[in-house]
Amino acid sequence: MMKRLRRYLVAGLLVWLPLGITYLLLRFLIGLMDRSLKYVPDRFLPEAWLGVSVPGLGVILTIIILLVTGLLAANFVGRSVVSGWESIMERIPIVRSIYSAAKNFAEIVFSESGNAFSKVLLVEYPRKGIYSLTFQTASDVGEIQGRTGEEVVACFVPTTPNPTSGFIIIVPKKDVIELDMEIDEAVKLIMSLGVVVPTWSKDTTGELPLKMPKDPP
């Protein structure tokens, strides 16, 4: 009886806990963006026209600000202003490290490059016979490829349950196994400690296994 009650309790948690976390995160983000309304004169706020508060209006205002900022930054004058601003930030000791790290991370995540986090790969790491889930970050690694004398790819090995941290390994392309799973599916697998395994149809893949068998001794 206790095992059955425990199973029901866990099933209920699995239903309500994700909903609760999603609600709290959305509420936090919307509330954070609604703070942008503090910089709008009172006479232009919806309360002055309708007499009631309109939650979420800050989201629209934030999107408009981002679009206008992007439009200005995309032209010649805007690029000059951004370059000047970045040069100032680079001269401030502590701010320089934080700003550079945040800028580099944003460029990687929102990059339109076809190689940045474009594939989910399986590599034998940290030793032969043990496989790690990785993301391909680059296929052209310049000097590294030239000095190794073979075609290599840069792979990001994420940690669990926080996939935003990890480290980079350079792997010969012939030693990686490209997976069918999408990036978001791999992230779920990592964040869930391997519990949430994405569904996979073998019909979508060719002859298995994809890895070539080792030569006999």
- 162-166: list long-range contacts, CB under 8 Å, 24+ apart: 162/191, 163/187, 163/190, 163/191
User: Is 108 or 71 the better-scoring residue by pLDDT?
Assistant: 71
Model confidence at 4, pLDDT cuts 50, 70, 90, reads confident
pLDDT of residue 171: 93
Query: How large is the greatest C-alpha to C-alpha distance in the chain, in angstroms?
Result: 83
Q: How confident is the prediction for the chain on average, in pLDDT?
A: 77
- Please tell me the least confidently modeled range out of 14-23, 38-47, 140-149, 196-205: 38-47
Percent of the chain predicted with pLDDT > 90: 14
pLDDT of residue 109: 59
pTM more than 0.75: no
Between CA 17 and CA 186 the distance in angstroms is 21
Residue 190 clears pLDDT 80, i.e. is over it: yes
The total number of residues shown for the chain amounts to 217
Residue 108 clears pLDDT 80, i.e. is over it: no
pLDDT of residue 216: 46
Between CA 151 and CA 173 the distance in angstroms is 6
Residue 51 clears pLDDT 70, i.e. is over it: no
pLDDT 10s digits, 121-160:
999 999 888 999 999 988 888 898 889 888 999 999 988 8
- Token pair in block for residue 55: 């939650």
Between CA 32 and CA 29 the distance in angstroms is 5
pLDDT of residue 172: 92
Mean pLDDT calculated for residue range 155-180: 88
pLDDT of residue 200: 83
Asked whether 157 and 130 are in contact (CB, 8 A), the reply is: no
